[in-house]
Amino acid sequence: MSSTPASLILFGIAVGAYTLAVVAFVLHLAFRKRILGDIGMGMVLIGWPLHFASIFTRALEAGHWPLGNMYEYSTGIAFVIVTVCVILMVRARMRLIGLPAMIVTVALMGVAYMLYVPPGQLVPALHSYWLTIHVTSMATSSAILSFSFFFGMAYLARRWADNRLLAVAPAAVSASVSSSGGGVATMTMGGGGGSGGGFSSGGVRSSVASWVQRAFPGAGMLDSWSYRFVMIGFPIWTFGVICGAIWGEHAWGRYWGWDPKETFAFITWVVFAIYLHARVTYGWKEKRAAIITAFGFAAILFTLYAVNLWIAGLHSYARA
């Protein structure tokens, strides 16, 4: 009976640390206690070097650059996400970015474990230095572009909270005036028509909106961070697609053949190109921009998993 590879043991410990980080960040978000955010960041900082050690030992065990199959690719993307998360938490003091980053990281590593294959030799199609250049570029850009989605969704949440509280403010003033006028005080906050302002659905939504407003940075800042990550990730994705085309010419004698993987990588490129073009040319910022990042993130996941696992093509070797 063969023993468990060291890379898989380190992988499991890293996943455990990241899972504890998710719990700490959820509690930090709920109770707004700095110590909980610090614990979450501490667990990430514990898991990050273990994660790196897992990838490094996997490379030694397999004898090649560790991006040759879905297990290695998934854990590689997760590692870049954690690395960017650490930078943001340390340099920009963004504790809350740890929650979506760690949720996606744990999910990616969970999928990686389900797709695990023992270390072994690469299939012949991958015996090329382009593996290091092309696949590393695609994994890095996938992780970086994921942060545009994280910040875009945070922007939508903050925008909803701001609009909700702006809508509630006139109602609150109206309730105050009605109460001071000598009549029967009426609770119009939230406009819910429930049995009581604090227990109506409108009151609950207003409480959630207040909590989101306190927890999240300003909407403009979140939109700006989402844009920054597209500006960083999109050129890397473009470089990766170009490198893939060059590799395709070396391996198959053509630069582009509309293989399913190539097609959906191009579709993802188009989504983020639309984001940048619409933002610069037509001023599509904030809400519309955030919605586009959601489509972009979905396209990345579809290109990564659905195409490799369920659609037959020249890249189908990546599943094994």
178 falls within a domain: no
Question: Do 246 and 144 sit in the same domain of this protein?
Answer: yes
Could you report the per-residue pLDDT of 89-146, keeping only the tens digit for each? 999 888 889 999 999 999 999 999 999 999 888 877 677 888 899 999 999 999 999 9
Q: Mean pLDDT score of the chain, rounded to an integer?
A: 86
Question: Do 104 and 156 sit in the same domain of this protein?
Answer: no
Cα 318 from Cα 42, distance rounded (Å) = 34
Count up the domains in the chain and report the number.
2
Could you report the per-residue pLDDT of 282-297, keeping only the tens digit for each? 888 889 999 999 999 9
Q: pTM to 2 decimals?
A: 0.87
Going from the C-alpha of 89 to that of each of 28, 84, 110, 182, 311, the distances in angstroms are: 14, 9, 23, 53, 38
Q: Among residues 100, 122, 144, which one ends one of the domains?
A: 122
- Residue 16: is its pLDDT beyond 80? yes
Question: Do 316 and 296 sit in the same domain of this protein?
Answer: yes
Question: Do 80 and 131 sit in the same domain of this protein?
Answer: no
Question: Do 60 and 142 sit in the same domain of this protein?
Answer: no
> Two tokens at 47?
């898991």
pLDDT at 198: 45
Going from the C-alpha of 314 to that of each of 129, 173, 264, the distances in angstroms are: 18, 65, 13
17 falls within a domain: yes
